[in-house]
Structure 1
Amino acid sequence: MAISKISTYLMPKPESYPDNKTDWQLDPAGAVLLIHDMQRYFLNFYDTESELIKTVIDNLVRLKKWAHQHNVPVVYTAQPYEQPADDRALLNAMWGAGLPASTIDQQKIIDQLSPDEQDIVLTKWRYSAFKRSDLLERMQNWNRDQLIIGGVYAHIGCMITAVEAFMSDIQPFLVGDAVADFSEDEHRLALKYVSSRCGQVTDTQSLLQEDLQTITRQWLEKRVQQLIEEDEELDPDENLILYGLDSLRIMQFSSELKAQGINVSFEELGRTPTLSNWWSLVDARQRVAG
């Protein structure tokens, strides 16, 4: 059977979220943002002017902006239209034929979240974003082990993707006010299952505030390794230019620090580009900011 029109409901408040079994902390240097199935076709089953959908869209826009500011890869899933019956397989029995050819325009991601040039759009074939895609390989190649999940529908694709992330040693963060579902009960079911079985449930504001935690030397070293695309341990006193660091990435890193409230200029970073010196600068400035 096809999806029916979805009645609006009140977005669950963060104070009503279930307790998490884990105490994982988000690290932008290790994270990927997944915007799940935010296609016109699926959003049209809601009242798109409802407070529920406006909240989901607004929060995903905030998360995407944050991700771009912090060099966090943004990945989308989007189901294709007119899928062959053999490709859909058992989904036909559960949901019918999927997006018909007449909905080709509805296959697009909604305008507010339209992918940018650097973003990745994966074709979605099953509940999990990992199934029949290269998402896991991409995350491994990026040296990323945390997945931030938002979109529709919370208790189907979003939750099952979180389960598969967990089983692949990736920490999933389900953003409770950046997902929507068929009903409040099913929305809360997803929050309950993820928080108690496979991940961390958070809200948009808390997730973005976590980004302002104290920077550690370990985080700094990991971020520099990503900037120079080097997995081996770095000599803390070696000039990072010799590892392949360039001025563009030094400028990018300076901007990332400023977004964290740590004002270290491009000129200061470029004057003595070593891990030891950068840590001295960062540690001193965040002590002052603190």
Structure 2
Amino acid sequence: MGFPVISSYPMPDRSAVPPSGPPWTIDPARAALLVHDMQNHFVQAFPPDLSPVVELVDNIAALRELAGTLGMPVVFSTEPAAQRPGQRGLMTDIWGPGIGQEPGDGAAIVAQLTPRVGEHVLVNVRHNAFLRSHLGRLLRSTGRDQLILCGVRAHLGILLTAADAFMNDIQPFVVADAVADFTPEDHSMALRWIARTGVVCTTDRLIRHLLHGRAAHSV
């Protein structure tokens, strides 16, 4: 019960990105950025200063900076600390009690990604960031029907949130080298599944397409 031991593994590059089924193109006027569970409790489970966590944080930071420049909503989804058993439900049977009172403020978002004024922080009590949160309402109120997903863990929160986005007619774009997982196998499996009903791409490619979309809107 609880986290397995996570070993360093290479972050996927472009050659490891599966072909995506949908033909969608990212549009900064339609998109929002979701940073999922990038809290100390989860990020510190990775070997520090090694792949994949180094690229994970750097790539999310780059996406977050560009999103702010382009006027895209930036949303952080976070698991609350000290959940009651009734609130945490069946997750306790698999992952234990969750974020507690460990040293270093496990519930806080990692320092490199500390939320800024104007960014949104939502509480999610399940892996799916839409469930029991107002993420869907936030996207609708800002006229956004595309969602860029990054964070941890690829085969749980990212996959489930991408699937729910698709079910609600929100186009999911998952950034292959801005998510991480327990193992490279879990990471790869998640990308293959997501690519069936979402777009999977690298940070560099997504940034180029976002900048191209901005240029197109400015013409």
Question: TM-score w.r.t. structure 1 length?
Answer: 0.73
Q: Is the 8 Å Cα contact of residues 81 and 103 (structure 1) preserved in structure 2?
A: no
Task: Report the counterpart of residue 234 of structure 1 in structure 2.
Answer: none
**1:205 and 2:204 are equivalent in the alignment:** yes
- Pairing 1:1-80 to 2, within 5 Å after superposition: 1-80=1-80
List per-residue Cα deviations over 1:93-119 (Å, max 9, x = no partner): 111111123357121000100100111
Aligned to 1:84: 84
Q: Which residue in 2 is equivalent to 1:193?
A: 193
When residues 46 and 161 of structure 1 are mapped into structure 2, their CA distance, relative to the original with a 3 A threshold, is same
* Corresponding letter in the other structure for 2:19: D
Superposed counterparts of 1:1-290, under 5 Å? 1-103=1-103, 105-196=105-196, 198-213=197-212, 220=217, 257=218, 282=219
Closer, same or farther: CA 98–208 of 1 in aligned 2, 3 Å: same
Look up the SS of the partner of 2:106 in the other structure.
helix
Relative to total residues, which structure has the larger helix share, 1 or 2? 1
Instruction: Tell me the matched-pair count.
Output: 219
RMSD after superposition: 1.5
**Which moves more between the two structures, 205-214 or 71-80?**
205-214
- What are structure 1's unaligned runs of at least 5 residues? 221-256, 258-281, 283-290
CA deviation digits over 1:208-266, x for unaligned, max 9?
Answer: 111233669xx74xxxxxxxxxxxxxxxxxxxxxxxxxxxxxxxxxxxx5xxxxxxxxx
Matches of 2:17 and 2:213, distance apart in 1: 26
Maintained 8 Å contact 2:70/2:214: no
- State the alpha-carbon separation in 2 of the partners of residues 136 and 104 from structure 1: 31
The SS at the match of 1:163 is helix
The answer (yes or no) to whether the contact 1:36–1:149 under 8 Å persists in 2 is: yes
Q: Which has the higher contact order (CA 8 A, sep 6+)?
A: 2
Secondary structure (helix, strand or coil) at the match of 1:107 reads: coil
Structure 1 residue 8, shift from structure 2 partner: 1.0
Normalising by structure 2, report the TM-score: 0.96
Distance, in Å, in 1 between the alignment partners of 2:39 and 2:209 is 29
Closer/same/farther in 2, CA of residues 215 and 34 from structure 1, 3 Å limit: closer
> In 2 relative to 1, CA 72–214 (structure 1 residues): closer, same or farther, beyond 3 Å?
closer
C-alpha distance in 1 between matches for 2:94 and 2:178: 26
Instruction: Summarize deviations over 1:7-45 as a string: whole Å, max 9, x none.
Output: 111111112211111121000000010001000111111
User: Taking structure 1 as reference, are residues 103 and 92 closer, same or farther at Cα in structure 2, changes over 3 Å only?
Assistant: farther
Alpha-carbon deviation of 1:4? 2.5
What percentage of residue pairs aligned between the two structures are identical?
37
Q: What is the letter of the counterpart of residue 200 of structure 2?
A: V
Residues 49 and 215 of structure 1, relative CA distance in 2, 3 Å threshold? closer
Whole-Å Cα distance in 2 between the matches of residues 213 and 42 of structure 1?
34
What SS does the aligned partner of 1:212 have? helix
Query: In the aligned structure 2, how far is the partner of 1:156 from the partner of 1:26?
Result: 23
Residues 178/98 of structure 1: CA separation in 2 closer, same or farther (3 Å cut): same
Q: Distance in 2 between matches of 1:209 and 1:215?
A: 10
Letter of the 2:123 counterpart: T
Q: Distance in 2 between matches of 1:108 and 1:142?
A: 26
